[in-house]
């Protein structure tokens, strides 16, 4: 192949001495890229590689070349005549004492790779946000019924391995329908939002709180016995009284507690049965005059 044909390749083609590292010949593309006026033996491979790539060449590539005679798809960083650092992929062959280099600058590949990484990260972030939003009640930003049920199933799986006490606390706003009817649904929504904030302020990070439906809310108190649950409910009653209603009235709630017993956790219906127990306790609280907490043992 003559020099003219050699110069048609759209990549850096070089020949260097393996020991001196001096450049013996190269094509026009390489001359332009490296800013070479002539090949006079003063320019070497160490002049075109970044410090990290040069160390990689000396410590890793050179021994492989001496042993196997070839390295393929080697990722290097080149230095242009302007000092710009350019990612590249090289194929290197050793013949006698000469190294034959075919080097392909990879700016566009790396740019595309970074764009793909960025697009993937954005997609993952949007997917996570979408997943988060599908778990939340849009009005109160609490967990929705489906999300709490899924998380409660995980808790049941955990306490099957090592039991800790868990209580379910079902909360219902007293006389919520008259609030909606007399003051409008927007006002009713504000009451729900304020109660949600109270509940979030009462529970711990290990607990779950969800809008169960309508004006009902469900708490899952992890590693909490019945006495702990009553203590939480007392705090809820007290905090809820700070939510003012028109006509100098205050918001009140009725609460039912269910204690998830160790002997019941192997039951496949343990969640639905305990929610039913909490609902029965809530019913008793309402029938007993509201604004109170009841437990069905």
- Annotated active-site positions, please? 215
Query: Rounded to 5 degrees, what angle do the CA atoms 266, 272, 273 make?
Result: 70
Give the integer Cα–Cα distance in Å for 292 and 53: 73
> Is residue 91 within 8 Å of residue 11, measured between CB atoms?
no
H helix or E strand, kind and range, residue 30 = helix 28-34
DSSP reduced 3-state for 42: coil
Give the integer Cα–Cα distance in Å for 239 and 51: 65
Give the integer Cα–Cα distance in Å for 270 and 264: 6
Close Cβ partners of 68 (under 8 Å, ≥ 6 residues apart): none
Q: Which of 165, 173, 111 is nearest to 140 (CA)?
A: 173
Largest CA distance in the chain: 103
CA atoms within 13 A on the CB side of 154: 8
Start-to-end CA span in the chain (Å)? 94
> Is residue 98 within 8 Å of residue 18, measured between CB atoms?
yes
Beta pairing partners, 49? 78
> Is residue 79 within 8 Å of residue 87, measured between CB atoms?
no
């Amino acid at each position: 192949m003559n020099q003219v044909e050699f110069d048609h390749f759209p990549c850096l083609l070089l020949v260097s001495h393996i020991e001196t590292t001096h450049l013996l010949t190269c094509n026009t593309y390489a001359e332009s890229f490296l800013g070479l006026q002539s090949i006079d033996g003063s320019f070497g491979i160490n002049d075109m590689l970044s410090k990290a790539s040069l160390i990689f060449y000396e410590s890793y590539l050179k021994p492989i070349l001496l042993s196997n005679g070839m390295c393929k798809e080697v990722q290097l960083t080149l230095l242009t005549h302007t000092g710009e650092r350019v990612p590249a992929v090289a194929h290197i062959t050793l013949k006698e004492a000469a190294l034959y280099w075919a080097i392909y600058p990879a700016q566009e590949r790396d740019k595309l790779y970074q764009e793909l990484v960025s697009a993937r990260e954005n997609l993952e972030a949007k997917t996570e946000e979408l997943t988060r939003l599908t778990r939340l009640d849009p009005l109160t930003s609490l967990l929705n019924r489906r999300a709490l049920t899924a998380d409660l199933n995980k808790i049941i799986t955990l306490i099957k391995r090592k039991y800790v006490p868990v209580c379910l606390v079902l909360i219902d706003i007293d006389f919520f329908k008259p609030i909606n009817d007399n003051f409008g649904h927007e006002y009713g929504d504000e009451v729900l939002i304020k109660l949600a904030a109270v509940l979030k302020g009462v529970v711990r990070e290990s607990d779950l709180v969800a809008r169960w439906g309508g004006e009902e809310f469900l708490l899952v108190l992890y590693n909490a016995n019945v006495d702990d649950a009553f203590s939480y409910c007392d705090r809820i009653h007290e905090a809820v009284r700070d939510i003012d209603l028109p006509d100098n009235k205050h918001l009140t709630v009725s609460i039912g507690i269910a204690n998830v017993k160790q002997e019941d956790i192997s039951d496949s219906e343990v969640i639905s049965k305990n929610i039913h127990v909490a609902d029965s306790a809530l019913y008793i609280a309402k029938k007993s005059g509201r604004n109170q907490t009841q437990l069905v043992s």
